[in-house]
Amino acid sequence: MAKYIYEYENWTDFSWQDKAINVVFGEVRLMQGKIIGQMNALGFSAKEEATLNALTSDVVKSSEIEGELLNYDQVRSSIARRLGINTAGLVSSNRHIEGVVEMMLDATQRYTLPLTEKRMFGWHAALFPTGYSGPYVIEVGHYRTGEMQVVSGAMGKEKVHFEAVKPEMVKTEMDRFLDWFNTENRLDPVLKAAIAHFWFIIIHPFDDGNGRIGRALTDMLLARSEGSGERFYSMSGQILTERIRYYEVLQKVQHSSGDITEWFDWFLHCLKNAMLATENTTQKILRKAEFWKLHQHIPINERQRLILNKLFDGFEGKLQTSKWAKITKTSADTALRDIKDLVEKGILQQTDERGRNANYELADLKLE
């Protein structure tokens, strides 16, 4: 069995081949600047919305990587409330969602503060407010005291993918990690984010929640790299898309003797793809902002505003009178009146279907 990276002496003296990552690293740094420039041109409310979208995606996707599906609207509402963003249709959320959101916002909004053991223990406790992970009791708010293996397969035929640092070594290893995290200033923060993620996952210091905390640390350092708590892209969302490759690379590099070039290469490409995905979202937000500017003097009621915003944000399925009535909690007659009013104003148009199954969509709004 090949040795794990942490079994080598001075294992955290990571090395990498600059030549292999220079191009993608340069592209990432360029794109970060470009996205910030685009967002600053958006105007305050559109920029707020872009941040809200990215943070919501980050929280939801980070949990989804662990197989846990959080309610998107509850997460979005929780973040909006905490950031003081006025948004229609806020819904209440449960303790668990509040905890996950707390951790993510603490990491991204207070990115300049030192990372301490106490702060991380607080994050861990926020992730598991009941002391349970699913049906299992776990150690919450402190480092694990048991062995940690990542296994798959049926009982008796388990395959060990990874065996983490021995429990008695966790505190020592984490002290070294935290000291590096708080004092290493020579590395570019984007490269530091890649190393922090890998290093933390290799130690696997907690009973559960290591992936989510590792991704929060990544976001914290990316916020530092941009000098801003405003988040415009979701690294967790991209990791979810690329998770098969993510685990493959982690599994391979965990046996390295110190060279983590392959991990860097994957991480930087993933980050680049996350930012490319954001460019599409930015176009949507721009279009929405332009739409409301164009129609600022046209009377539009709250129900109509709610549905129009949903159409810009990516409406699922087709818009029909029955769906309008259900979402806005009104009668079918009121829904039809609302729709016809928007059709007359040239904002909605009917698609080819007729009769009871009539569908509606945004008219082609000649937005410049």
The CATH number of residue 184's host domain is: 1.10.3290.10
Q: For residues 281 and 353, state if they share a domain.
A: no
Is residue 291 one of the residues assigned to a domain? no
Given a cut of 60, whether residue 366 has pLDDT beyond it is no
Tell me what pLDDT residue 155 has.
82
Q: For residues 281 and 318, state if they share a domain.
A: no
Q: For residues 282 and 307, state if they share a domain.
A: no
Q: For residues 20 and 141, state if they share a domain.
A: yes
Tell me what pLDDT residue 367 has.
47
Q: For residues 305 and 275, state if they share a domain.
A: no
215-239 confidence digits (pLDDT tens): 999 999 999 999 999 999 999 999 9
The CATH number assigned to the domain holding 303 equals 1.10.10.10
pLDDT category, 365, cuts 50, 70, 90? low
Tell me what pLDDT residue 180 has.
98
Is residue 292 one of the residues assigned to a domain? no
What is the residue-averaged pLDDT of the chain? 92
Given a cut of 60, whether residue 69 has pLDDT beyond it is yes
98-128 confidence digits (pLDDT tens): 999 999 999 999 999 999 999 999 999 999 9
For the chain, the three-class secondary structure string (H helix, E strand, C coil) is CCCCHHHCCCCCCCECCHHHHHHHHHHHHHHHHHHHHHHHCCCHHHHHHHHHHHHHHHHHHHHHHCCCCCCHHHHHHHHHHHHCCCCCCCCCCCHHHHHHHHHHHHHHHCCCCCCCHHHHHHHHHHHCCCCEECCEECCCCCCCCCCCEEEECCCCCCEEEEECCCHHHHHHHHHHHHHHHHHCCCCCHHHHHHHHHHHHHHHCCCCCCHHHHHHHHHHHHHHHHHCCCCCCCCHHHHHHHCHHHHHHHHHHHCCCCCECHHHHHHHHHHHHHHHHHHHHHHHHHHHHHHHHHHCCCCCCCHHHHHHHHHHHHHCCCCECHHHHHHHHCCCHHHHHHHHHHHHHCCCEEECCCCHHHCCEEECCCCCC
Is residue 367 one of the residues assigned to a domain? no
Q: For residues 205 and 115, state if they share a domain.
A: yes
Is residue 293 one of the residues assigned to a domain? no
Tell me what pLDDT residue 289 has.
82
Number of domains in the chain: 2
Q: For residues 242 and 335, state if they share a domain.
A: no
Q: For residues 146 and 50, state if they share a domain.
A: yes
pTM to 2 decimals?
A: 0.84
Q: Could you tell me the residue range of the domain that residue 11 belongs to?
A: 5-286
Is residue 368 one of the residues assigned to a domain? no
Percent of the chain with pLDDT over 90: 77
Is residue 305 one of the residues assigned to a domain? yes
Tell me what pLDDT residue 355 has.
63
Percent of the chain with pLDDT over 70: 97
Q: For residues 104 and 238, state if they share a domain.
A: yes
Q: For residues 251 and 352, state if they share a domain.
A: no
Q: For residues 12 and 132, state if they share a domain.
A: yes
Tell me what pLDDT residue 354 has.
66
Examine the fold and report which residue of 262, 286, 310 is the final residue of a domain before the chain moves on.
286
pLDDT category, 87, cuts 50, 70, 90? confident
2-41 confidence digits (pLDDT tens): 899 999 999 999 999 999 999 999 999 999 999 998 888 8
31-41 confidence digits (pLDDT tens): 999 999 888 88
Q: For residues 356 and 331, state if they share a domain.
A: yes
Examine the fold and report which residue of 251, 286, 321 is the final residue of a domain before the chain moves on.
286
- Highest averaged pLDDT of the listed ranges 53-67, 149-163, 307-321: 53-67
Is residue 164 one of the residues assigned to a domain? yes
Is residue 58 one of the residues assigned to a domain? yes
Tell me what pLDDT residue 356 has.
65
Closest CA to 34 of 229, 326, 232, 265: 232
